[in-house]
Chain A
């Protein structure tokens, strides 16, 4: 095998759920809504996916059900915001706790049991290309799906009329309304679609990256995903790079375990603070006053702008 090839494959594979989650959250936040519940949504959707696939024998059905549960959580947040004027962050936080504990409560019977897998899709010839082949052409459908979602989401946000409408609502709902757009409807749809994709992300944990179920199975991953979105400058490609960097940290920690025996149980924790640290460093470029001094290419890459109206409720008539 080629040097580091297996590591590259593992990184791509491990990052699958995170990619999906950050994409879902990016779409949500582009419309001006923060779905803070990810930490809890991931747990409950991961459980849903695994439980359904164990019960029915169909991982695909589990995947779809996880998306449905994710959309319900998102719907609660956005309806509390638009219909009841409640704080998005507060509702998101309460849901984080509620859904997380709910997963512990409901998941007792599924702890550490075997379940059905997604089959690998091996494409002959292509799978033999060094690095790329085993990363993308010898993986299951989830990995390929997550990878395709990155350019698709970017294209949706930057190049389609609908994507532009989502952005416009996140920027200035009043202007959007003045142009015949219904900001409330756009926010509801964007948040729910985002929630579905986040739910898919949860499924990608329990059906692929961290197969199976245990209590607090996806612990802390939700928070990391939230951070990646924000520091990733609300750009799906940059967010994906953030997700892959997190995969790199995880791989390094994994490899270190055989070297530093005394730290075996601490090492898996290290990528989390390390990721936050890295993001803090990168975020320094996000500030608009700094970007002007950067070369144009770096500027395009690092110069993320937060949606102007993010987290703010719509003005009531």
Chain B
């Protein structure tokens, strides 16, 4: 089998999302589409799947021209997408989700027969789930596995994985990768869209690198990793973040008791964390959907019994004696959620209005002085926008910076839930620059992430989550980076 993409161009307003892209993929090699955010990978996938109609260009499947801009035509030609978020139905059962819109089962379907067929497939791919379970009760990894099997059920011959591995446990990922390799050898076309080099090297034999909507090059895998990075980030300087020197003054204290998170004392090697350094950065790392985000949220909501399970204390003002530590007042907990527009900002309010909301003091608003402070913050945090721009008109990186800018200046505990989620390398760098700058005057920063590189690069202390459980809590100095991936996937370190 072969799919030929010829001169695909797609423009959104002034943005050229795909610029004359030309790729040929055959079933013999698993192909990767590599590139950072905004490189045009997703647009290309949506053109192949029929969601977008390109401005020009053609796609051929086995030399037969594909009708573009029609999802049903793409489906008929065997194109199946495994999307970043599973495209299923929360309130339906697994069985219903298989049947909904299916072309396979015919008008009058026989439930028993369908059940038997699905169960057969589940057994083959080692999945143990009841078909009457509601989708909402499954983990993201399970939902993606089911979606993949469903695609095969629908006779998809071209399987495109659009960065789907975020929610996979290590075990699930191994299973899925094994499955994909088998499929490729059986004559399926498999395309992996990703920016994670490890994954690409593990699964693919070939990769096309995209950048700013253009195809840079198609390369065989394995290939020199440094060269790939050069190609992906051509002409861009990666910001090198100044690591601050660790301070030695012992003025704050964080004490985390782990029983809430399933810590069992029999696994003795986990000890409660006590952090003494003001301005420390604590990274909480776990796979998508793990307890890491919940951990951050719980501290902010004070849902957990703060006194018993996590004691975060700061010096009582004006008194630097270590014994005089008191819990941080609730008002000094500052939290930024990862879904910025849903839970952090107000999409239809301007930057000015956000600044007014965050300002302390008087009940009446002087828009003139608010406008001044907005301008100052925009400059200080390098936000691209003016004070009268709406939050939903800002890019993700600028929304994140706005969230940081709105945090009161007084020192506190910064709780950042996946602060760089969905941001490209450049915005990630500048967001971290701001976080580190702030952290110097703060009691502490606690952030969650799904990215091992990120947690390793920026944290002084690391907390690992596997599912809902904490598996490790340690200062960075006393652990190895390679251990983290085992700790967060629930496997013991392969020593």
Residues in A lying within 8 Å of B, measured CB to CB: 161, 164-165, 167-168, 171-172, 174-182, 305, 307-308, 317
Given known contacts A167-B89, A171-B91, A178-B49, A161 and B105 CB-to-CB distance under 8 angstroms? yes
- Asked if B101 and A181 make an inter-chain contact with CB atoms under 8 angstroms apart, the answer reads yes
11 residue pairs from A and B, CB less than 8 Å apart: A164-B96, A164-B100, A167-B92, A168-B92, A168-B100, A176-B100, A178-B49, A178-B83, A178-B87, A180-B72, A305-B91
Report if A180-B92 is in contact (Cβ < 8 Å); known contacts: A161-B109, A317-B51.
Answer: no
**Given A161-B107, A317-B51, A317-B52, A176 and B101 contact (CB-CB distance below 8 Å):** yes
Q: What is the 8 Å Cβ interface bit string for chain B, positions 30-65, against chain A (1 contact, 0 not)?
A: 000000000000000000010110000000000000
Chain A residues within 8 Å of B81, by CB:
178
Contact residues in A for B166 (Cβ distance below 8 Å): none
What per-residue 1/0 map shows which CB atoms of B84-107 lie under 8 Å from chain A? 000111111000100111110101
Q: How far is the CA of A165 from the CA of B100 in the complex (A)?
A: 6
Task: Across the interface, name the chain A residue whose C-beta is closest to B70.
Answer: A180
- The answer to whether A168 touches B89 (Cβ under 8 A) is yes
Categorize the interface residue count of chain B. Answer: 20 to 34
Q: Is the CB of B100 within 8 A of A180?
A: no
Interface centre among B88, B89, B105 (most CB of A within 10 A): B89
The yes or no answer to B75 lying at the interface (CB within 8 A) is yes
B392 — which chain A residues lie within 8 A by C-beta? Answer: none
Least CB separation from A186: chain B residue: B101
Min CB distance, A127 to chain B, in Å? 35
Q: Which residues of A contact B52 (CB under 8 A)?
A: 317
CA distance A177 to B103 in the complex (A): 13
Cβ A161 vs Cβ B99 within 8 A: yes
Contact yes or no, B96 A307, CB < 8 A: no
Q: Which residues of A contact B102 (CB under 8 A)?
A: 179
Q: Contact between B91 and A307 (Cβ–Cβ < 8 Å)?
A: yes
Residues of A within 8 A of B427 (CB): none
Given contacts A161-B99, A178-B49, contact A171 B75 (CB under 8 A): no
Contact A164 B91 (CB under 8 A): no
A208 to chain B, nearest CB (A): 35
Question: Chain A residues near B107 (CB, 8 Å)?
Answer: 161
Q: Contacts of A180 on B, CB cut-off 8 Å? A: 71-72, 75-76, 101, 103
Question: Is B101 touching A165 in the complex (CB atoms < 8 A)?
Answer: yes
Chain A neighbourhood of B109, CB < 8 A: 161
B193 CB to closest chain A CB (Å) equals 15
Q: State A168–B103 Cα separation when bound (angstroms).
A: 15
Interchain CA distance A133-B96 in the complex, whole Å: 38
Contacts of A172 in B (CB 8 A): 87-90
Determine the residue in chain A with the shortest Cβ distance to B75: A180
In the assembled complex, how far is the CB of residue A176 from the closest CB belonging to chain B, in whole angstroms?
Answer: 6
Cα distance A180–B83 in the bound complex, in angstroms: 15
Task: Give B52's nearest chain A residue, CB to CB.
Answer: A317
- CA A167 to CA B109, docked complex, whole Å: 17
Residues on A with C-beta less than 8 A from B99 are 161, 164
- Supposing A172-B90, A178-B87 touch, asked if A167 and B71 sit within 8 A by C-beta, the answer is no
B contact residues around A164 at 8 Å (CB): 92, 96, 99-100
Report whether over half of chain B's contact residues are helix, strand or loop; otherwise say mixed.
loop
Beta-carbon contacts of B259-286 to A below 8 Å, as 1s and 0s? 0000000000000000000000000000
A181 to B70, CA, bound (A): 11
Q: A161-B105, A164-B100, A167-B100 are in contact. Are A178 and B92 (CB under 8 A)?
A: no
**Total of A-B residue pairs, C-beta within 8 Å:** 63
Q: Could you tell me which B residues sit within 8 Å of A by CB distance?
A: 49, 51-52, 71-72, 75-76, 81, 83, 87-92, 96, 99-103, 105, 107, 109, 154
Given contacts A161-B107, A165-B100, A179-B102, 11 further A-B contacts (CB under 8 A): A164-B96, A165-B101, A168-B92, A168-B101, A171-B90, A171-B92, A178-B71, A178-B81, A308-B89, A308-B91, A317-B51
User: Shortest CB–CB separation between residue A173 and chain B, in angstroms?
Assistant: 10
Give the 8 A-B residue pairs with the shortest CB-CB distance, closest first. Answer: A179-B101, A175-B87, A171-B89, A168-B100, A180-B72, A180-B75, A181-B101, A178-B87
The interface residues of chain B lying within 8 Å CB-to-CB of A175 are 87-89
Give A165 Cβ to nearest chain B Cβ, in Å: 6
Contacts of A181 in B (CB 8 A): 100-101
Q: How far in angstroms is the closest Cβ of chain B from A271?
A: 32
Complex interface: chain A residues within 8 A of B88 (CB): 172, 175
Q: How far is the CA of A129 from the CA of B81 in the complex (A)?
A: 58
Report B-chain residues with C-beta under 8 Å of the C-beta of A176: 100-101
A308 contacts which chain B residues (CB < 8 A)?
89-91
Known pairs A172-B90, A305-B91; A179 contacts B51 (CB<8 A): no
With CB as the reference atom, state the residue of chain A lying closest to B74.
A180
Is B89's CB under 8 angstroms from A177's CB? no
CB distance from B247 to the nearest CB of A (A): 44
Most chain B C-beta atoms within 10 Å of own C-beta, residue among A171, A174, A180, A305:
A180
Report the Cα distance A51→B473, complex, angstroms. 78
**Alpha-carbon distance between A172 and B49 when the two chains are bound, in angstroms:** 17
A304 to B: closest C-beta gap in Å: 10
User: Please, how many angstroms separate the alpha-carbon atoms of A178 and B84 in the complex?
Assistant: 13
B25 CB to nearest chain A CB (Å): 21
CA distance A181 to B154 in the complex (A): 14
CA distance A305 to B76 in the complex (A): 33
A124–B42 Cα distance when bound, in Å, is 68
Bound Cα distance from A165 to B83, whole angstroms: 20
Shortest beta-carbon distance from B287 to chain A in Å: 23
**Minimal beta-carbon separation of A13 from chain B (angstroms):** 35
Task: Please report the C-alpha to C-alpha distance between residue A172 and residue B102 in the assembled complex, in whole angstroms.
Answer: 15
CB distance from B22 to the nearest CB of A (A): 24
Q: Which residues from chain A contact B96 at a C-beta distance below 8 Å?
A: 164, 167
Set of chain B residues within 8 Å of A177, measured between Cβ atoms: 51, 71
CB nearest neighbor in A for B90: A308
* Residue numbers in B under 8 Å from A305 (CB-CB): 91
Give bound CA distance, A175 to B147, whole Å.
11
| Nearest A residue to B91, CB-CB | A305
CA distance A178 to B81 in the complex (A): 8
- Please give the distance in Å from A86's CB to the nearest CB on chain B: 17
Give the distance in Å from the alpha carbon of A305 to the alpha carbon of B49 in the complex: 31
Which A residue's beta carbon lies closest to that of B76? Answer: A180
A182 to chain B, nearest CB (A): 8
Complex CA–CA separation, A168 to B89 (angstroms): 7
The answer for the CA separation of A176 and B75 in the assembled complex, in Å, is: 12
- Bound complex: CA A305 to CA B52 (Å): 32
Closest residue to B150 on the A side, CB-wise? A179
Q: How far is the CA of A180 from the CA of B49 in the complex (A)?
A: 10
Complex CA distance for A4 and B83, rounded to whole angstroms: 59
B105 cross-chain contacts in A, Cβ below 8 A: 161
Closest chain-B Cβ to A229's Cβ sits at a distance in Å of 16
User: What residues on B are CB-neighbors of A182 within 8 Å?
Assistant: 72
A267 to chain B, nearest CB (A): 40
In the bound complex, how far is the Cα of B103 from the Cα of A231, in angstroms? 34
* Interface-central residue, A171, A174, A178, A307, by most chain B CB under 10 Å: A178
Q: How far is the CA of A135 from the CA of B99 in the complex (A)?
A: 39
Distance between Cα atoms of A178 and B83 in the complex (Å): 10
Give the CA-CA distance A137 to B463 in the complex, in Å: 71
How far, in angstroms, from A167 to B89 measured CA to CA in the complex?
A: 9
Chain B nearest CB, measured from A307 CB (Å): 7
Q: B91 contacts A179, CB within 8 Å?
A: no
CA distance A161 to B90 in the complex (A): 18
